[in-house]
Chains A and B, each alone.
Chain A
Amino acid sequence: MKIFVFAELNTAGPSTISLEMLTKARNLGGEVAAFAVGAGSDAAFATLGAHGATTVHHLDPGDALPAAAAAAALAGLVGDGDLVFFGLTQTDRDVAGRLAARTGAAVLSNAVDVKVEGGSVGVVNEILGGSTLVETEFTGSGPRLVVVRPKSFTAEAGAAAQPQVHTVPVPDTGRSGAARITARHAEESQGPSLADAAVIVSGGRGLGSAEKFGLVGELAGILGAAVGATRAVVDSGWVPYSVQVGQTGKTVKPSVYIACGISGAMQHLVGMKDSTTIIAINKDEEAPIFAVADLGVIGDVHQVLPKLIQALKAR
């Protein structure tokens, strides 16, 4: 059984999730290859090598949306019983879906752990906001596709190792590969990046308006924290999607997560419940966020936050 790890190459190097998955693959043992998609560099390949890839298959689809070409190329590499890891990110999900359809393989999604025992592969995922764990095994033939939630594994570089790099020619995918990227935009927020921040101040609809959401940014600024938000707030256009935490946003595990005016919907909880310490401010005593909070403050964010900000500034 070989393990393939999908690795999206960004300007800053391989995606963080690809390094998390490579570390897991390396610890599972066996032969580990990365399937890297995007503009490559020796530095990027070396990073993949250090995290466990002995081989890197590299595909650069240029300005094509990569899923169709990546799936077609991968389909030619993966064999019966091989494990293929993808992250729960946009491009990874797109490739996983196409590869599953092409090969007829089953795909198990939202994995938080992967267990290999003998020839069988079990995948653990969380349902109902993380309150219940479900274990699923692959039963059929063909490759086994797993889509992994970010932060399920910790990325750790091993000894430096230069992997063997194979350049994969871009396959002709005809109509299905016809989508083109005409421009790329980054919506970077200020301060530390949400995914790596040690402290996150996150706000929900309870802030009331885009203007009042500024309190969250102000507190984050004082604490050197990153700003997070619920989907309700992102959909209202108060903050960009890049700061959304939860099922369809980022998964975070900071040492401290401060949830302001957030109800604690299941889809938000799965993205932040593994934070070491959680502080929640909500005026509704019954809000589900309190179930995961180490300190729950039943109160009005418009009262508590200004006082907190003032007291911290006075220090």
Chain B
Amino acid sequence: MTTTDALTVRRNELVRGLLDILPADAVLHLAEALRPYECDGLSAYRRLPMAVALPSSVEQVRAIMRLCHRLRIPVVPRGAGTGLSGGALPLSDGLLLSLAKLKSILNLDPVARTARVQPGVRNLAISQAALPHGLYYAPDPSSQIACSIGGNVAENSGGVHCLKYGLTVHNLLRLEVVTAEGELLSLGSDAPDAPGYDLMALMTGSEGLLGIVVEATVRLLPLPERAQVLLAAFDDVARAAAAVGEIIAAGIIPAGLEMMDKLAIQAAEAFVHAGYPVAAEAILLCELDGTNDEVSEHVMQVRQLLLRCGATEVRTARDEAERQRFWAGRKSAFPAVGRLSPDYYCMDGTIPRRRLPEVLTRIRELSVEYGLAVANVFHAGDGNLHPLILYDANRPGELERTEQFGARILQACVDAGGTITGEHGVGMEKIDAMCGQFAAPELAQFHAVKAAFDPDGLLNPGKAVPTLHRCAEFGAMHVHHNELKFPDLPRF
């Protein structure tokens, strides 16, 4: 039997099994129906799955997992498909499991300040439901109108407010998870500190490799009495970066502290007319929130401080509409940059804040070396960079050059004491970069963790953690500082 025939036989077997569990319209297997699922937000990687399943209950998810376990068919979970690292990229011999139909807010408890939601609920929908109670869900990825809470858990997503309010992992109380074998487990607790090992910490950010999140209980916070945003313009990126450190050194933790460079400022301005100073080399957006008095006190302090740090202009949003406009420019920076060039590639390194000027200089040098423009947008408060490389996939070789450029940026982040991904995840995209960040014993430990949850390796295999073999091959191509990272492994 040829491999294509074998695949067809398996597909038929899978689809038959799925039709016992789901109504016919919740099982997709024809090429045109599969097409919308061929990629996530990283569209450079595309692949069709064997089939797509769209369960609408936890029991159906369990039955699907039991079926796939019995048939030894790998499963790739998918939320809203906004991920930027190819985490939800289908496997051609696997099932794509969409959690999009599980989209109910099951319970919102204003007294306990918690919301119990299904995984397909959109991030922003939680805050909207909480609004009448004066509460909100703090982690706010820029994709929050679309991305699902299940995807947020799987990526440990952050947002512009995470310096002060934490990442997804800091705002979860409990998860209901279906294992690779179809078992339902409860991680965390409605009470503080669940007994035993903190599996919720492990599950958060595990990119669908350890379990399927079928329910999340999240913490809600009271909406601050007031939020005010300052916009500071600088004629030098390094000076803007230094100002970030100064604000924190002054003992102030802003609710958000974002930076954009010239190209990003101009793109955003052209796109949403946020009123940004287009001649500036960099702008800082600094949001301060809290009680009315507290915000007034901090606005004065930060204003003085920014001017002392060499800001050429500091503006305070006059009203809520202007505050929203300032943020609209930042939150639409990716699509705005997308208008400048046929394609863009978003990077996600994190570095210690004080290394910002030198890493930005390095990115500029690399931009010249590769002949590709870069726009920089970043969560400056926590050192999370999003360089956006502009390219044209239709020009032969340009995607490959872009990826090489991107890999060099990530290596620069690791060399500066940082990491290859702050919030977008490893997925398929950064699988080789993982070999530069971790040595063989750590990777082996990751695989052992994976095996404890998923002994047959059926959950999103091939993503997030590279095999030692892959790294040995990759290492042979990229010898770092002339040292071999995997000296013990056979090379071929």
Are A and B co-members of a single complex? no
Binding site for B on A (CB under 8 A): none
Binding site for A on B (CB under 8 A): none
